[in-house]
Amino acid sequence: MATSIEIDRTVGAGLERGLTLPASWYTDAAIFEAEKQRIFGKFWQYVGHSGQVPEPGDFFTVTLGDIPVIVVRNDDRRLRAFANVCRHRGSEVVLGCSGNRKTMQCHYHGWTYNLDGTLRAAPRSGEQLSFDKSALSLISFSIDTWGPFIFVNPDPAALPLASYLGKLPSFVARAALDVNKVRMVRRDEYQLASNWKIIIENFNECYHCPIAHPKFSSVIDTDAYSADTTNEFFSTYNAPLIHARDEGVGYATLWPTAMLSLSTNPGAMQVLCVWPIDPGHTRETVDYYFAEDATEEHIREYVEFSDLVQREDIILCESVQRGHRSGAVERGHLMLSREGGIQHFQKLVHRFVAAEAEKDHH
């Protein structure tokens, strides 16, 4: 069911001038419902990595907006993604987070699906003459990979992943990181009392770094921090190290929910991803990938440093959420010389939420 919302026609014009999205867009349940349908139901999203499903029958489950998804490696070793929703009465088929199965059997009435999504058996189906198993396969979603990274798109009209990624793989390659040779080491998880957009906006600028991240700012030259927002579905950021001008770190935000952090010493990549729960709460995962020659000491120091910055950011994001919830300030004013990445992201949010809202009223 489509969500119908009213969008103030001045919102888009304000974004062009450097105003932020209205505070209500971070607290309103109707806006959040629209985002689930018009953003999370329509775009490629990072869901995990191939190391989670190395063998036939290996699976893991995720939720994109309201859509439960199961990612499984088929008997022929192909990756498949399905709506984790039984064709019988709508129960989730698989309740577990991950594991290995020969088939996918619904825990409610025992309808059983093959790893290619086709219905294998349904108890007492012989009692119904018109029962057609071939018409009752699990709903299939588009799935593709970039290196070890797995992406899923619930939209049946999805364009290929490569066209969506555009030049992002080249940006990562210029950071001297071969995504085909990194190994996934760990996943950390954080719970934030914050809207999902605030987390991404915080990642999209380093204007706050000298104040909020003293240790980070003692390593990174925040004055030389630069952004590129010329690409449609991602923005990129570069920051040189203070004591090694030929080295630095790179960042990228991939619409709508993934954030990449790249380092050359050690060769490392984080994929941060937000998983919206409700307008004021978000789960965030951080997947750590390292080059094959990264030592255990490098890994430990890198993770400790990252976790420190992450916990500092949680305080910031939750503070912004409380401010938005107060309603005291309806729209903020961006410092565009330092926060162009936020403008780029907010214009995408407005573009897809407001465009569909216009259709609702025609």
pLDDT tens across 141-157, in order?
999 999 999 999 999 99
Please determine, for residue 360, whether its predicted confidence score (pLDDT) is greater than 60: no
Say yes or no to pLDDT of 245 above 70. Answer: no
Tell me, which fold does domain 45-157 have in CATH?
Answer: Rieske Iron-sulfur Protein (2.102.10)
* pLDDT tens digits for range 255-309: 999 999 999 877 899 999 999 999 999 999 999 999 999 999 999 999 999 999 9
Dihedral sign (CA 203, 208, 210, 211): negative
Taking the C-alpha atoms of residue 293 and residue 58, their distance in angstroms, rounded to an integer, is 28
Q: Which CATH architecture has domain 10-41+167-360?
A: Alpha-Beta Complex (3.90)
Confidence (pLDDT) at 184: 95
Instruction: Output the pTM of the full model.
Output: 0.94
Give the pLDDT score at 356: 63
Q: How confident is the model at residue 4 (pLDDT cuts 50, 70, 90)?
A: low
In the chain, the percentage of residues whose pLDDT exceeds 70 is 96
Residue 357, pLDDT > 70, answer no
Q: Which of 174, 189, 103 is nearest to 138 (CA)?
A: 103
Question: For the chain, what is the mean pLDDT?
Answer: 94
**Structural tokens at position 158:** 């999805």
Distance, CA of 76 to CA of 85 (rounded, Å):
23
Q: Domains of the chain: which residue ranges? A: 10-41+167-360, 45-157
Q: Is the pLDDT of residue 1 over 50?
A: no
pLDDT computed for residue 260 by the predictor: 98
Confidence at residue 358, expressed as pLDDT on a 0 to 100 scale: 57
* pLDDT given at position 5: 74
